[in-house]
A = this chain, B = another copy of it.
Amino acid sequence: MTGAWLRTGEVAEAAGVNAQTLRYYHRRGLLREPRRSNGGHRLYPPETVTALRVIKAAQRLGFTLDEVADLVEAGGHRHGRPDRGLQARAVAKLTEVEQKIADLQTIRETLLQAVDAGCDDLMACAASSCCPLPFAELTEGGRRADVD
């Protein structure tokens, strides 16, 4: 089973990422360093392409690269750990995503109101209070802004 090793560029192209990104993921601990040729060139097993697709999928689901690194790690040595990573983390991420959707919907409402009100100069509106824009600090009265 020595016929299928892939070089950096081949892996990158197959997974649809930049070759530099591979090195970056090694640095970030998302990919293990593969074996090397005598001359020092990396030689990847074909599964690496799958690993990259997994990483990209997780990113699309809103996980940061640090979180992805955790997930991969958790998947790796999940040999009887009580952790059971993926489920719990997916649920947590789901909550985050739902919060973000709610936030954006608030923003949407506000924009709609602003358009309806037809105001045309922010400073003038702020002065005359004709405008429904939330000039007061939302971040103190409502939910915290430092969360996202």
CB of A91, distance to nearest CB on chain B (Å): 6
CB of A19, distance to nearest CB on chain B (Å): 17
Known: A60-B138, A61-B110. A123 touches B50 (CB 8 A): yes
| Interface residues in A110-125 (C-beta closer than 8 Å to B) | 110-112, 114-115, 118-124
Bound-complex Cα distance A50 to B129 (A): 12
| Interface residues in A50-68 (C-beta closer than 8 Å to B) | 50-51, 53-54, 56-58, 60-62
Bound-complex Cα distance A86 to B93 (A): 35
| Cβ A127 vs Cβ B86 within 8 A | no
| Cβ A115 vs Cβ B94 within 8 A | yes
Known: A122-B58, A126-B50. A97 touches B108 (CB 8 A): yes
| Interface residues in A72-127 (C-beta closer than 8 Å to B) | 72, 75-76, 78, 84-87, 90-91, 93-94, 97-98, 100-101, 104-105, 107-108, 110-112, 114-115, 118-124, 126-127
**Could you say which residues of chain B place their CB within 8 Å of the CB of A126?**
50-51, 53-54
| Cβ B107 vs Cβ A97 within 8 A | yes
Bound-complex Cα distance A101 to B99 (A): 11
**Could you say which residues of chain B place their CB within 8 Å of the CB of A91?**
115
| Cβ B87 vs Cβ A115 within 8 A | yes
Q: Which of B51, B61, B121 contacts A107 (CB 8 A)?
A: B61
**Could you say which residues of chain B place their CB within 8 Å of the CB of A57?**
122, 133-135
Q: Which of B56, B71, B101, B108 contacts A94 (CB 8 A)?
A: B108
